[in-house]
Amino acid sequence: MATATEADAMRRAIALAARALGATSPNPVVGCVILSPEGTPLGEGRHRRAGGPHAEVEALAAASAAGHDVRGGTAVVTLEPCNHTGRTGPCAQALIDAGITRVVYAVADPTDTATGGAATLAAAGVTTEGGLLADEAAAGNAAWLTSVRLGRPFVLWKYAATLDGRSAAADGTSRWITSAASRADVHRLRAEADAVVVGSGTLRADDPHLAVRGHDGAVQPLRVVVDTHASVRPGARVLDDAAPTLIATGKDADTGHLPGVDVVRLPRTRTGLDIDALLAELYGRGVRSVLLEGGPALAGSFLAAGAVDRVVGYLAPALLGAGPAALGDAGVGTIAAALRLEVTDVARLGPDLRITAVPTAS
Ligand code: AOF
Ligand code: ZN
């Protein structure tokens, strides 16, 4: 059984891991705390970016830099220590070499490449215990774990609407439906995502910038415009150099007006570009989490393709009575086919409500 001290250390490790959200793709976020045999924290670390040291190695280095002897100590880590030599060496072996005699982890490593760390540790005589605060740690790594399971990026669809579900007024104006608090929260979602995806209609209507503001050190997400006919203007704000940008367009689109812009050509479907092909392209580029920011037609295509894993709606206490709905055609023709969701969180942000929901398994 894990001790209360180890549970506290795991909470700390989960918090450390969360700081790296949005910076580690295609890798998970991982945090680690090294405890002395008496339960005193000796060093802590997190995996900061792919190619960099794993959390365990950073924590061991921190303990050693502080002059601590970790022999006989315990490593508390949010993910089962890896067993492979990838861009860095295997953490299981690093812990064994350092003289760690107990390892408590939250979630098993689900990848074929890295799995097996717990068995390696046990074979070397290290006590191992998995599953401590597993739900909390898995929630912190939800995007990465989902991407490993599905072989495509995790997709979060975010929208802002009035209480009657409209995302713009009848004349097309939409600045600002939700409060500054809600908009700041969206910047956090962007900072945590590897890519931000919008459709060309949103680009035409709002000329959004889509870069992250107010998060020092955040890795800028890849800005992706789904633009079947390559209608983006060369001066669009999304094309500036604040963050990388990818224009996804149809096989036959003319992109002569976009020299130097990163363009990918994808197959078309009846309603637009092939969403599965888009997600496969992004996955191949290392994207593990996508923030889908609209508009209504693109969100409908993603939902119709079964490619939304979480919905975050910002609802402002305002009514419009006319104007475009937050969601366009998602292939639902009758009430029995409604896309049913389960609400996982409700929060108040300034005057607004933020509702988080996940599709129910059908
Ligand atoms: C750990 N601790 O901090 C991380 C782990 O790209 P590489 O070579 O660094 O390996 C990445 C894989 O290792 C990743 O897919 C996941 O299975 C595991 N990540 N493991 O013990 C860490 N980041
Ligand atoms: Zn590792």
- Does the C-beta of 28 come closer than 6 Å to ligand 1? yes
Which residues of the chain are modeled with pLDDT < 50? none
- Does the C-beta of 64 come closer than 6 Å to ligand 1? no
Bridge partner list, 316: 162
The burial of 355, by beta-carbon neighbours within 10 Å (0-12 exposed, 13-18 middle, 19 or more buried), is given as middle
Query: What is the predicted ipTM?
Result: 0.93
**Cα 18 to averaged position of ligand 2 atoms, centre (Å):** 17
- Does the C-beta of 58 come closer than 6 Å to ligand 1? no
Give dist(CA 197, CA 192) in Å, integer: 14
| Model confidence pLDDT, tens digit, residues 58-109 | 999 999 999 999 999 999 999 999 999 988 889 999 999 999 999 999 999 9
Q: Whose Cα sits closest to atom 10 in ligand 1? A: 86
The ligand 1 atom at the shortest distance from the C-alpha of residue 28 is: 23
The ligand 1 atom at the shortest distance from the C-alpha of residue 91 is: 21
- Does the C-beta of 86 come closer than 6 Å to ligand 1? yes
- Does the C-beta of 190 come closer than 6 Å to ligand 1? no
Catalytic residue among 56, 58, 192, 293: 56
Predicted local distance difference test score (pLDDT) of residue 362: 58
**Cα 35 to averaged position of ligand 1 atoms, centre (Å):** 21
**Cα 28 to averaged position of ligand 2 atoms, centre (Å):** 11
- Does the C-beta of 91 come closer than 6 Å to ligand 1? yes
**Cα 176 to averaged position of ligand 2 atoms, centre (Å):** 44
- Does the C-beta of 56 come closer than 6 Å to ligand 1? yes
Give how far the C-alpha of residue 181 lies from the chain's centroid of Cα atoms, to the nearest Å. 21
The ligand 1 atom at the shortest distance from the C-alpha of residue 88 is: 8
* Helices vs strands, H then E, count in the chain: 10, 14
Ligand nearest to the CA of 30: 1
Give dist(CA 172, CA 327) in Å, integer: 15
Q: Let me know: does 79 contact 148? Beta carbons within 8 Å.
A: no
The ligand 1 atom at the shortest distance from the C-alpha of residue 51 is: 9
| Model confidence pLDDT, tens digit, residues 327-344 | 999 999 999 999 999 999
- Those residues whose C-beta lies under 8 Å from the C-beta of residue 34, and which sit 6 or more positions away, are 41, 42, 43, 44, 59, 60, 62, 63, 68, 70, 73, 74, 75, 76, 100
Give dist(CA 299, CA 303) in Å, integer: 6
Q: Let me know: does 276 contact 305? Beta carbons within 8 Å.
A: yes
- Does the C-beta of 41 come closer than 6 Å to ligand 1? no
Q: Whose Cα sits closest to atom 15 in ligand 1? A: 27
Instruction: Break the chain down into helix, strand, coil percent, rounded to 5.
Output: 30, 25, 45
CA atoms within 13 A on the CB side of 240: 9
Predicted local distance difference test score (pLDDT) of residue 270: 86
**Cα 107 to averaged position of ligand 1 atoms, centre (Å):** 13
281 an active-site residue? no
Predicted local distance difference test score (pLDDT) of residue 217: 77
Q: Which of 107, 99, 97 is nearest to 129 (CA)?
A: 107
Give how far the C-alpha of residue 101 lies from the chain's centroid of Cα atoms, to the nearest Å. 33
**Cα 154 to averaged position of ligand 2 atoms, centre (Å):** 22
The ligand 1 atom at the shortest distance from the C-alpha of residue 32 is: 3
